[in-house]
Structure 1
Amino acid sequence: MDIFFLDLSKVNEIYLESHLVTEEKKEYISKINPRQRKIQVFYSDVFIKYLMLKKYNLGISEIKIFQDPFGKPYLYQGQYQFNISHSGKYLICGISKNPVGIDIEQMKSENVIRSKDIFWESEYQDIFLTIEKEREIRFFKYWTLKESYLKWLGTGLSESLKSIEFLNIDSRFIKYRLDKKFNESTPSFYSIIFDSDYVLSICGDFMNEKKIRIYEVDKFELNSFFQ
């Protein structure tokens, strides 16, 4: 599995004339303010196309992106599956030959939610009964793990975050318990602190893929592609 990330704080340009942007998307992006949001939407749209063309050597005619009934994007008749997430200054994309779910969140104390509608009792206690300096990290680890699972499943937040209960988020091999209706699925999970104040979590078939590789996409490489 390959993970690619782009630091959007280093990017100032958008290329609406690019052949990778549909006319419908051009019109939508042109109306967006502020500019930073415009940049975020533009690169979220073209990042996977850029990666498929430059990193996986697909032809432009092979890159047809559709959305399933839950809004999850997928490549039509493609050999690769992907998932995208963004938070703060980072845009991140996971690519695999198997289903993948990925979530990145910037850790902000004001976003920590005390709710037993989101967490199982064991998870809630693990977050809120821990020492204060660890609380934020644990909250966002649980949150991103749950989000990555729902994105892997393909349902997004149409399913409850309580459809999965995590049992040991600090272990290399993260254990979990699923809602009965999903108990035939057996994904693996990976979660790390990313750039000191972000949490990145991934859900996928790591047993078959053996390794997770993380790459930064340089803004100069990306910009030269559009010029």
Structure 2
Amino acid sequence: MKLKAHRVNILNIKYLNIKEMDSITYELLKSEASKERREKASGYVHIEDAYRCICAELLLRVCYEEFTREGLVPKILYERYGKPYLENTDCFHFNISHSGEWVVIAYGDKKVGIDVEKVSDEMEEIAPVFLTKEEFKKIENLETVRKSALLTKLWTLKESYVKYRGTGLYTAMKAFGVMDDLEQSQKPGVVFHTEKLPGNYYLSVCSEDERIDMQEVRLKDLTGSILQKRGA
């Protein structure tokens, strides 16, 4: 996996699929993670949560090293409402999301928010919690499959926006809309972008950059890099 030159005014997105994770791969990846991350992963009941926990840190390391050309990732700190950032670093902004088989990170020189979710019929149950009245009216008569997909897409768009702002769920998502050309007039200066990932997932990102570069990182990229460093 070749590193790219440091670029500004472009939002970078890396996405990693963990579906093919096995115990040998996991143990190798975990051995490369920080002590804090290993301890956090060990506390999960479901092994898939541990996979995502470890992979999120290692994928962030890839993003940081590529963008800054520095090998040591600063300590992760958290803002008032839980948004992560790196200590003593103002030129590298990032945001992480994971769901099911995907771990995704958006990063660049400006603040950003990202979310990934698998399309689910359960979104219809919580729709009144995150849709405006106008949005709800527009989708209530759609057939189930289309409605589930659109609701999931809208959820990821709204999540990406509140994560961009750094307010998380402290911002009522039904208080703002993202339909009708994403209602940019209500959110000046930000750009939304949505992609469909394999496995019926939606990825949405909110940033200040119009240009986006997406790159898939594979498990074998991570393990290969580790083994290369160790001279194996």
Q: Deviations over 1:123-177 (max 9, x none)?
A: 1012222233311111112111110000000011111112321232xx5xx3246
Q: Deviations over 1:43-75 (max 9, x none)?
A: 123321232124542231x53321111111112
TM-score under structure 1 normalisation? 0.84
Give 1:225's aligned residue: 225
Whole-angstrom CA distance in 1 between matches of 2:75 and 2:110: 18
| Preserved contact between residue 167 and residue 176 of structure 1 (Cα < 8 Å) | no
Q: What one-letter code is carried by the residue in structure 2 that aligns with 1:146?
A: K
Q: What one-letter code is carried by the residue in structure 1 that aligns with 2:75?
A: K
Does residue 102 (structure 1) correspond to residue 105 (structure 2)? The answer is: no
Does residue 70 (structure 1) correspond to residue 81 (structure 2)? The answer is: yes
| Preserved contact between residue 115 and residue 159 of structure 2 (Cα < 8 Å) | yes
| Preserved contact between residue 165 and residue 176 of structure 1 (Cα < 8 Å) | no
Alignment equivalent of 1:153, drawn from 165, 185, 205 = 165
Give 2:36's aligned residue: 24
Unaligned runs of 5+ in 2: 1-10, 228-232
Whole-angstrom CA distance in 1 between matches of 2:40 and 2:80: 21
Q: What one-letter code is carried by the residue in structure 2 that aligns with 1:8?
A: I
Tell me how far 1:16 sits from its aligned partner. 3.3
Give the 3-state SS of the residue equivalent to 2:81 in structure 1: coil
More helix per residue: 1 or 2? Answer: 2
Give the 3-state SS of the residue equivalent to 1:130 in structure 2: coil
Q: What one-letter code is carried by the residue in structure 2 that aligns with 1:197?
A: N
Taking the TM superposition and a 5 Å limit, the aligned residue runs for 1:113-128 are 113-128=125-140
| Preserved contact between residue 165 and residue 177 of structure 1 (Cα < 8 Å) | no
Q: Deviations over 1:82-108 (max 9, x none)?
A: 111111101010012111111111001
Aligned residues: 212
Q: What one-letter code is carried by the residue in structure 2 that aligns with 1:119?
A: L
Tell me how far 1:117 sits from its aligned partner. 3.5
Whole-angstrom CA distance in 2 between matches of 1:31 and 1:167: 39
Give the 3-state SS of the residue equivalent to 1:53 in structure 2: helix
Give 1:204's aligned residue: 207
Identity of aligned residues (%): 24
TM-score under structure 2 normalisation? 0.82
Whole-angstrom CA distance in 1 between matches of 2:50 and 2:126: 32
Q: What one-letter code is carried by the residue in structure 2 that aligns with 1:102?
A: I
Unaligned runs of 5+ in 1: none
Taking the TM superposition and a 5 Å limit, the aligned residue runs for 1:46-195 are 46-54=58-66, 56-60=68-72, 63-76=74-87, 77-168=89-180, 171=181, 174-176=182-184, 178=186, 185-195=188-198
Whole-angstrom CA distance in 2 between matches of 1:133 and 1:124: 16
Q: What one-letter code is carried by the residue in structure 1 that aligns with 2:114?
A: I
CA root-mean-square deviation: 2.1
